[in-house]
Amino acid sequence: MKRCLCFYTCLAAGLLLLLAAAGCDSNEVNRVYVKTLGLDFKDGKYVMFVQVLNFNNEAKNESSPKSAGYKPWTGNSSSRSFIESANAILATSQRELDFSHVTALVISENFLPRLKTEDLTELLDKFPEIRLNIWTYATAAPMDQVFSTETLFNFMDTNSVLHSPEEYYKQLSGIEPVQLFKLLREDFHPAFSEYLPQLGTNNSIWESDFKSKNTLSVTGAYFLHNNNYKGKMSLKQLQGWHWMNPRMKRWTVSIYKDGEELGAITYKKSKPAVQLRFNENGEPIYNIDVKLYGFLALRKSRSPLSEVEQAAEDMITKQIREAYTTGIKREIDIFQLNELFYRKHYKHWKQMTSNGSEFILTENSLDKIKVKIKIIVPGRYKH
């Protein structure tokens, strides 16, 4: 009797599940999902771009190649405001657009000088389903070019640098990805210099079937402070920046001394520290201390390991100083030295900077830079 009761109970539960599945709205399956948003300003008008993906194809296997003929769609519209541009896109979409799966926001270089926090909050008010953890970039490339780049082996677009920058950063920790909430949070901080990674397109590296493939890469960074655009710096100008980031994952550089290549070191860990003191005029003076850990990826000289370490320390010290100097010429505090002053001596900071409205850093503000490198023996290195 008990076995029969158990059987009919399971049967009834199964029938209920089948009925529930049959009653699902078929529109859920065919809904159009917006994956990327783009903001631009051209000819006096606000331009919005959207990239939509078919999740029926994505869901099959995100790590497998796309089906033949699969292409993401892009749409754009220009108007007096982003709200009007968005309405025009919605009016022509044919189906309901779902913004809950947006993972990236790209802002054009043209729009950055006009960008205000209100523009972003207005966008979030219009589409409240957009999450605050979406990846945020800026670019000088045409937006439609950025949206139409390809992935290796024709993998799904969600595996690109645009949508999954963590994987990219793990192997090349040049410029750390930025999420929207971080940009909004730091925009209200009077002592922070926030930044946006710069996306560029490149069709000279990869090819398939003897045809060039247009791919994305991070080529620099744009900087803002107090809701104002300050300028951009290339990846080459920012060579000393990542050494000051404790979240750096991996960076490999060749080491030279007097024009001779000694080898290459792959760095896996950085421990930066900044000390603040004041000179006789009450001006802030900073000392930087960086400890780096890595392994010798390539050795091309019989020079002692200590000599390789010293050459690497000298090179990185120079890179840090050059990055700092290039930044302050644009009134960019790339190492957030001003934030340390603000946090430790707020009243003094407020007086000297007129509550954050004046940029007080000079070349002399950065005094000593000390770099110490610990090279791990390759045979004992654990990946």
Q: Quick check: helix, strand or coil at residue 114? A: helix
Range among 11-25, 105-119, 290-304 rated most confident: 105-119
Written as six digits, the tokens of 278 are 């004041």
Nearest to 138 by CA among 183, 178, 198: 198
Task: Output the pLDDT for position 301.
Answer: 81
Assign 26 a pLDDT band (cuts: 50, 70, 90).
Answer: very low
Burial category of 80 from C-beta neighbours within 10 Å (exposed 0-12, middle 13-18, buried 19 and up): exposed
Annotated domain spans of the chain = 31-235, 239-383
Alpha-carbon distance 169 to 161, whole Å? Answer: 9
Task: Output the pLDDT for position 155.
Answer: 62
Nearest to 268 by CA among 290, 252, 244, 288: 252
Assign 6 a pLDDT band (cuts: 50, 70, 90).
Answer: low
Nearest to 72 by CA among 33, 27, 127: 33
Task: Output the pLDDT for position 22.
Answer: 47
Q: Which residue has the higher pLDDT, 157 or 29?
A: 157
Alpha-carbon distance 152 to 66, whole Å? Answer: 11
Task: Output the pLDDT for position 167.
Answer: 86
Assign 70 a pLDDT band (cuts: 50, 70, 90).
Answer: low
Alpha-carbon distance 159 to 149, whole Å? Answer: 12
Check whether 11 has a pLDDT greater than 70: no
Check whether 383 has a pLDDT greater than 70: no
Task: Output the pLDDT for position 58.
Answer: 52
Check whether 318 has a pLDDT greater than 80: yes
Q: Write down the architecture of domain 239-383 according to CATH.
A: 2-Layer Sandwich (3.30)
Residue 362 has phi, psi (to 5 degrees) of: -130, 175
> How much of the chain exceeds pLDDT 70, in percent?
84
Contact indicator for 46, 9 with CB cutoff of 8 Å: no
Assign 145 a pLDDT band (cuts: 50, 70, 90).
Answer: confident
Task: Output the pLDDT for position 47.
Answer: 94
Q: pLDDT of 171-228, one tens digit each?
A: 889 899 999 999 998 888 899 999 999 999 887 777 777 777 778 889 999 999 988 9
Going by C-beta distance under 8 Å and a sequence separation of 6 or more, which residues neighbour residue 179?
132, 133, 134, 135, 136
Q: Where are the alpha helices (DSSP H) in the chain?
A: 2-22, 26-30, 55-60, 82-91, 117-126, 143-147, 165-171, 180-187, 305-328, 337-344, 346-353
* Lowest-confidence segment of 138-152, 263-277, 287-301, 317-331 by average pLDDT: 138-152
Check whether 325 has a pLDDT greater than 50: yes
Q: Look over the chain and give the mean of its residue pLDDT values, rounded to a whole number.
A: 85
Check whether 20 has a pLDDT greater than 80: no
Contact indicator for 347, 264 with CB cutoff of 8 Å: no
The structure's pTM equals 0.86
Alpha-carbon distance 243 to 254, whole Å? Answer: 15
Check whether 69 has a pLDDT greater than 50: no
Q: pLDDT of 337-373, one tens digit each?
A: 999 999 999 999 999 999 988 999 999 999 999 999 9
Task: Output the pLDDT for position 24.
Answer: 47
Query: Per residue in 50-68, is it b (16+ CB within 10 Å) or e — as a string?
Result: bbbbbbebbeeeeeeebee
